[in-house]
Structure 1
Amino acid sequence: MANNQNAELLDKARLLRHDIRDGSFTGYTSGLVPGLVQGNVVILPKVWAEDFLLYCYLNPVSCPLISMSKPGDAMVPALGADIDIRTDIPQYNVFKDGELVEQVTDIEQYWSDDMVSFVLGCSFSFEEALLRAGLSIRNIDLDRNVSMFETNIATAPSAKFFGNTVVTMRPFKPADAIRAIQITTRLPKAHGAPIHIGMPNKIGIEDLAKPEYGDSVPVNDDEIPVFWACGVTPQVAIRNAKPPLCITHVPGKMLVTDKLNDELAVL
């Protein structure tokens, strides 16, 4: 039965990537193909890749590396036999000298033989585990992108890459927040346990209704906001490092892989 369910998941993932590849799907991926790993993507010229790799190593909670390509290789066989990093993300951000200059649905025009791709774990992967445990996730319930905030929590720098941590926020009642901590702790490659709970002003967030990325969601009076490190953190570091060219996913529009979330779990 499990093998049949896994086969169905893989079929759904490949169909979704086909729709992304031909431009018929350009939306957010939260809640899609639950059970499979979703990834944040950073693509850099080779001369910048080593410093960014060190940045990931120094900041494993914000930047949990799950795949890295060879220069010029657009395929990601470790995460899916048919994945083409140039076409299989719903929308890409293109940065030049640290400035966002364009959003596109494929990056073939920017690709060259010295480009190196990094795929980092994403909190969308642990959302499935939370749902499976019976917890409600507000952004999925409301069909919205998750709320993302820039904080005052510094990351460890690597050469020109530096900046503060970006977090995702999901509200829970206190007992559910405890359960969410227990569940996500088992998934370090999907950012693991929350890095902050409650009191958003303590981490530099003044207004939960005004996220820097994604959509706002209501936090009820009997709930507390729970904050996880987010794979948008590298986009802040890229803005500061100012590489001549860098390509990332648009926040909330992730790479959907063929890898099972359970393969990332720590037993």
Structure 2
Amino acid sequence: MSAPASPQELRKLIAASSWTGPTAGVLDGYQQANLAVVPRDLAFDFLLYCNRNPKPCPVVAVTDPGDPVIRLGRTEADLRTTLPRYRVWQRGELVAEPTDITAYWRDDSVGFLLGCSHTWEGPLRTAGVPVPHAADSMAPPVYVTDRPTHPAGRLSGPLVVSMRALPGHLVARAVEVTARYPTGHGAPVHIGDPAGLGIADLSTPDFGPPPRLEPGTVPMFWACGVTPQLVLPNSGAEYVITHYAGHMFIFDHHVDETP
């Protein structure tokens, strides 16, 4: 299938179940977002958790309780059907990975859209910084660190990071570019020796494909939206819904626009 020309076209394909794959590398330059849906009685704790941990959880938009439609700038879309794939937990247990969550949405559901690092991959490429990927995947390798996040109410857990190994002479440029995009997790949280994050072996990520590590490259680590996917299921909530890794929501605004 050819690449969609706009976020609106992509969302129509997704809603029609014609696009169920990842969004990494699709529609460069548009704001992409992770999804978290929680019961209303957990929503304040989660909003506070995001406020205390803005690097892994940059809030872009939040729905009203029970309303599945996200409205921000030009974007108006039903969160139940406009992400390619989801993950559903019930009382901490993963029960489904559907392409439509209409059956799981409830009157007390609150949807959060959190910024994603795929947002700045386009600007990086435009700035002349190659974004390395595995041969069969556009997703980066992702690691659980030994660095704790700041707890809030029932929510606590480790920081999760994504990694790109970039040529040493481009490290400063990559920091400069990504720092412009706080809704893409901003600048790296760590550069260099992975042991500084408690990562023992870069070749065995916790999620995603093994990395490409070329001679002369430096591992760079950005806060990752998988962080709340580890934190939320352990909250004791009756249910939690998130996106499936790499299968994001894409807004209608460009990353350099105010929505």
Instruction: Report the TM-score range of the alignment, normalised by the length of the smaller protein.
Output: over 0.9
1:239 positional shift: 2.9
Q: Which residue type is aligned with residue 166 of structure 1? A: V
Contact preservation (8 Å) 1:214, 1:252: no
Residue number in structure 2 paired with 1:5: none
Contact preservation (8 Å) 1:92, 1:250: yes
Higher percent of residues as helix: 1
Runs in 1 of length 4+ with deviation above 6 angstroms? none
Once structures 1 and 2 are overlaid, which stretch shifts more, 253-262 or 205-214? Answer: 205-214
1:82 positional shift: 3.8
Q: Which residue type is aligned with residue 242 of structure 2? A: T
Residue number in structure 2 paired with 1:242: 236
Please state if 1:160 is matched with 2:166: no
Instruction: Structure 2: state its 5+ residue gaps.
Output: none
Once structures 1 and 2 are overlaid, which stretch shifts more, 201-210 or 56-65? Answer: 201-210
Map Cα deviations across residues 80-114 of structure 1 (whole Å, 9 max, x no partner): 54411000111101011122221000100011111
Select 1:225's aligned residue among 219, 223, 238.
219
Q: Secondary structure at the match of 1:262?
A: coil
1:188 positional shift: 1.2
Q: 1:34 to 1:165 in 2, by over 3 A?
A: same
Aligned pairs for 1:40-79 within 5 A: 40-78=34-72
Residue number in structure 1 paired with 2:187: 193
1:206 positional shift: 1.5
1:11 positional shift: 5.0
Once structures 1 and 2 are overlaid, which stretch shifts more, 170-179 or 10-19? Answer: 10-19
Once structures 1 and 2 are overlaid, which stretch shifts more, 80-89 or 252-261? Answer: 80-89
* Separation (CA, whole Å) in 2 of partners of 1:184 and 1:223: 18
- Paired positions, count: 257
Residue number in structure 2 paired with 1:106: 100
Q: Secondary structure at the match of 1:129?
A: helix
User: What percentage of aligned pairs have identical amino acids?
Assistant: 39
Q: Which residue type is aligned with residue 122 of structure 1? A: C
* Separation (CA, whole Å) in 1 of partners of 2:42 and 2:98: 22
TM-score, structure 2 normalization: 0.94
Q: Secondary structure at the match of 1:138?
A: coil
Contact preservation (8 Å) 2:80, 2:105: yes
Contact preservation (8 Å) 2:85, 2:244: yes
Instruction: Structure 1: state its 5+ residue gaps.
Output: 1-8
Once structures 1 and 2 are overlaid, which stretch shifts more, 137-146 or 98-107? Answer: 137-146
Contact preservation (8 Å) 1:35, 1:260: yes
Q: Which residue type is aligned with residue 160 of structure 1? A: R
Residue number in structure 1 paired with 2:257: 263
Contact preservation (8 Å) 1:94, 1:245: yes
Q: Which residue type is aligned with residue 183 of structure 2? A: K
Contact preservation (8 Å) 1:30, 1:140: no
TM-score, structure 1 normalization: 0.91
* Separation (CA, whole Å) in 2 of partners of 1:129 and 1:185: 11
* Separation (CA, whole Å) in 1 of partners of 2:218 and 2:239: 39
Q: Secondary structure at the match of 2:9?
A: helix
Residue number in structure 1 paired with 2:139: 145
Map Cα deviations across residues 121-141 of structure 1 (whole Å, 9 max, x no partner): 100001111011011111277
1:246 positional shift: 0.3
Contact preservation (8 Å) 1:135, 1:176: yes
* Separation (CA, whole Å) in 2 of partners of 1:239 and 1:102: 13
1:143 positional shift: 4.0
Map Cα deviations across residues 113-160 of structure 1 (whole Å, 9 max, x no partner): 110000011000011110110111112776432111111111000111
Q: 1:140 to 1:88 in 2, by over 3 A?
A: farther
Q: Which residue type is aligned with residue 90 of structure 1? A: P
1:167 positional shift: 0.5
* Separation (CA, whole Å) in 2 of partners of 1:196 and 1:243: 32
